[in-house]
A = this chain, B = another copy of it.
Amino acid sequence: MYRVGIDLGGTNIAAGIIDDNYQLISQASLPTGAFRPWQEMVNDLGDAVDMALQKAGLTAAECASIGIGSPGTCDSERGVVVRAYNLGWFEVPVCETLHDRFGIPVRLSNDANCAALAEVVAGAAKGRKDVVMVTLGTGVGGGIIIDGKIYAGMRSAGAELGHTVLVMDGEPCSCGRNGCWEAYASMTALIRQATRAAEAHPDSLLARQETLDGVSIFRCIDQGDETAKAVVDRWCEYVAAGLTDLVNALAPEMILLGGGVCRQGERILAPMREYVADHCFGQRQGAIPVIAAAALGNEAGIIGAASL
């Protein structure tokens, strides 16, 4: 049995077909062209699906379902993208529209939920039941898997893990609240923390970088810069404090971290694990989950969407 997955991003629409083993057998993409009328954009979603089907030599009727991973708030029950600021989408009935075109079931979930599901069905958390995935990117995204299924709560609005508080009344967050985890643990936050440290330490290597990003900050550490090291050490604590909350609240078997920064591997994962073990309920006797990097990378979105 084949399934279709669509990873809808702010830049690209990627569609793909997976087989019974969650292997991608074909893929196609089109530019998203955000902020056009939604009907045009959903039409392009359909065209990307047709392209992927054609490459695989399949028709829609030979597929069990189409799944869509979309940014923003998605109501899985109604099949509607409620609000996706970076697409300019509000109340877009994407499932109904694609169902009318292809005649097979169409399902929808948030992209972070899809990434988490992909890791459980085919990635680093394969076979696990209770898993939380945290993506460290421009923001901090979350996906909660309970008993092998996406848990998103009422109107699929849950798993906004980046928007739980780390420092009440602290740094302003994009969501309008202050002190959210995202405002301390995202890459945006890391870069802001590095920028401030560079200003405070004009003699540091950090202060002499042309641009501060997730690559240059770590390169400074490689070159022995103490200022950069202190920034990243503290940032790891911010990330790990939120992970500790997830351990105490949900006691998952596994926490997976996603986002490009995870390519830094053990240099960030090891201190985070230490922090969690020191701070979680019951400390080292507590229910400490496996904490690891996600495995699937760019394909997670399509695989997860197809698995909805």
Residues of A within 8 A of B (CB): 73, 83, 130, 142, 144, 146, 151-161, 163-168, 175-177, 184, 238, 241-242, 244-245, 248-253, 279, 281-283, 285-287, 289
Contacts and interface: CB of A to CB of B under 8 A. Distances in A.
A248 B160 contact: yes
B158 A249 contact: yes
6 contacts: A130-B154, A153-B287, A154-B289, A158-B248, A165-B241, A166-B168
Contact of A155 (B153, B155, B238, B251): B251
A71 to B, nearest CB: 14
A157 B130 CA distance: 13
A66 to B, nearest CB: 25
A305 to B, nearest CB: 20
B152 A251 contact: yes
A248 B157 CA distance: 7
Contact of A281 (B146, B157, B166): B157
A285 B282 CA distance: 38
Contacts of A252: 153-154
Q: Which 6 A-B pairs have the closest CB atoms?
A: A153-B251, A158-B251, A157-B287, A164-B245, A160-B248, A157-B251
Given A142-B249, A154-B251, A154-B287, 5 more contacts: A144-B249, A155-B287, A163-B281, A175-B281, A176-B283
Contact of A158 (B165, B244, B287): B287
A254 to B, nearest CB: 9
Contacts of A282: 73, 83, 157
A180 to B, nearest CB: 9
Contacts of A83: 282, 285
Q: Which of A160, A166, A175, A289 has the most CB of B within 10 A?
A: A160
A151 B157 CA distance: 19
A140 B170 CA distance: 23
Contacts of A164: 164, 245, 248-249
Contacts of A281: 157, 160, 163, 175
A146 B150 CA distance: 12
Contacts of A161: 248-249
Contacts of A250: 144, 151, 153, 158
Contact of A244 (B177, B286, B289): B177
